[in-house]
Structure 1
């Protein structure tokens, strides 16, 4: 009587193939919507069954071993043979609606989306731009909000820490002779209800009140465009201002940065967080802004 074949678990094979293709356990975890430790456990389970190490592990990451390279070819052959057994019908289309403020959508999200589609081309993303500071903005599957983390009853996931800096153009610095923080008395201070000046004043050793006059903007991108146009000095967070500072349009002033009380968060209903497309996008967001 023939003994039953001892086949490797399919979830272990999927974890191995994904980690090998994407170059790491964290990337495989994002694709498979599991934790990196789960991917590591599945691959160790496979290595134990095979009696060989499939990855060389080091403090800087993992890479396929010689045995792993040989085994990957066999796994691809097996997957190719199994593919025709799948039903011909198309899998259900995964759609994800994401709401985001215009500055986040334009400068932080859209430039990174090609990376998401390289990992998950099966998920169709619909990005809806939401005007900041709406009383009751429409809710999507995932909403990106700027604030302190207290928004509504949904799960709130901080995307990154940030700090606020004062910024203006090199020309404005020269024209107003801005050498030290107190020289801002000669400057036009641009305002936003999203980011008050007072905490920055305190860090700069200035006992000035919150500015009560001057142009005010409810969108951070428009605030930065105003500063880049020479209207004055803006206060904004470093991550949001990256496009303007990297291009040289704006420069941070005086080497003073203050931990930002507000930054960007992803909001999602608790019961929706485990949907495959939602979990995959949230895992990718965390990794993209880590």
Structure 2
């Protein structure tokens, strides 16, 4: 039976935090965010089944068990560090870890990513996915793109771009319900719901005093929402960069002449300062902001 070992990245986080007596300083030394370091500490505490630190507000001190365990951890890390590696002379490739929503990755980031890799072929980009409105804590990534209201306290936040929202439906669905000529005709349609694209702000622009729909199919992923529209499940809201190919091919049709210029949700890039101080992270952030400047 295989022996389960503690994760080395959690051990190094514990040793650094104990040595500095500060999660923030330890995170800076390891080039990760303080929240990522806290995650690693919690992971190790779950592994050993004991508290490693006593937390009192912003102050942390090593627990009694933590002091005993620290001696073992330092000895193990020293053994790994001191072991001779004759071929370990090649420089470590700089890398940037980016967490993004799946629809943003598919429709917006990946089609543009070659622009960054062409400029900086020496930097490795690692892309991870998050769920909008649900994954709201910085992970171990250097940068995150979030789709939301932009209210993210205690972290740096930059809005990527504005993009109007509008209603679309499939031709097959429109034929099935007898067409839609004016926004008020939506009363005979099935309105697809999403926390990411609420209807009520669009209703106001369309001159409809209607409440937010409370029944029917709900999809909290913009890509899935658009797929549901394409397959004729009803009418939904979308954005140009997601739907332009389907509109061009005739798979979906833009309805009416009503656009919500400033939807309640938009894309924001968020980050903490320590990772941004690394040159490769700063280069990717600058490229990201420039790539979406004129969207």
Q: If the TM-score is normalised by the length of the shorter chain, which range does it land in?
A: 0.5 to 0.7
User: SS of the counterpart of 1:111?
Assistant: coil
User: SS of the counterpart of 2:110?
Assistant: helix
Deviation of the 1:172 alpha carbon: 2.1
Distance 1:150 1:136 in 2: 11
Query: How large is the Cα RMSD of the aligned pairs?
Result: 1.7
> For each residue in 1:86-106, what CA deviation from the matched residue of structure 2 results, as whole angstroms up to 9, or x when unmatched?
xxx755411111101111111
CA 1:104 to 1:135, structure 2 compared with 1: closer, same or farther past 3 Å?
Answer: closer
TM-score with structure 2 setting the length: 0.64
Question: Which residue matches 1:195?
Answer: 197
Unaligned runs of 5+ in 2: 1-88
Question: Which residue matches 2:101?
Answer: 101
Deviation of the 1:186 alpha carbon: 1.2
User: SS of the counterpart of 1:287?
Assistant: helix
Distance 1:103 1:271 in 2: 28
Question: Which residue matches 1:225?
Answer: 227
Unaligned runs of 5+ in 1: 1-88
Distance 1:155 1:264 in 2: 14
CA 1:280 to 1:247, structure 2 compared with 1: closer, same or farther past 3 Å?
Answer: farther
CA 1:284 to 1:243, structure 2 compared with 1: closer, same or farther past 3 Å?
Answer: farther
Deviation of the 1:274 alpha carbon: 3.0
Superposed, which structure 2 residues align to 1:47-126 within 5 Å?
A: 91-126=91-126
> For each residue in 1:176-226, what CA deviation from the matched residue of structure 2 results, as whole angstroms up to 9, or x when unmatched?
211111111111100001121011111111111110111001111101100
Question: Which residue matches 1:144?
Answer: 145
Deviation of the 1:111 alpha carbon: 1.2
Q: How many residues are matched? A: 202
2:273 pairs with 1:260? no
TM-score with structure 1 setting the length: 0.66
Question: Which residue matches 2:161?
Answer: 160
Question: Which residue matches 1:5?
Answer: none
Answer whether contact 1:237 1:260 (CA < 8 A) is retained.
no
Name which of 273, 277, 284 aligns with 2:276: 273
Question: Which residue matches 2:288?
Answer: 285
Deviation of the 1:273 alpha carbon: 2.0
Answer whether contact 2:230 2:251 (CA < 8 A) is retained.
yes
Superposed, which structure 2 residues align to 1:171-186 within 5 Å?
A: 171-176=172-177, 177-186=179-188
Distance 1:160 1:207 in 2: 29
> For each residue in 1:148-176, what CA deviation from the matched residue of structure 2 results, as whole angstroms up to 9, or x when unmatched?
21124211111111111111112222332
Question: Which residue matches 1:51?
Answer: none
User: SS of the counterpart of 1:222?
Assistant: helix
Name which of 244, 247, 265 aligns with 2:246: 244
Answer whether contact 1:168 1:253 (CA < 8 A) is retained.
yes
Distance 1:111 1:240 in 2: 12
Distance 1:91 1:266 in 2: 29
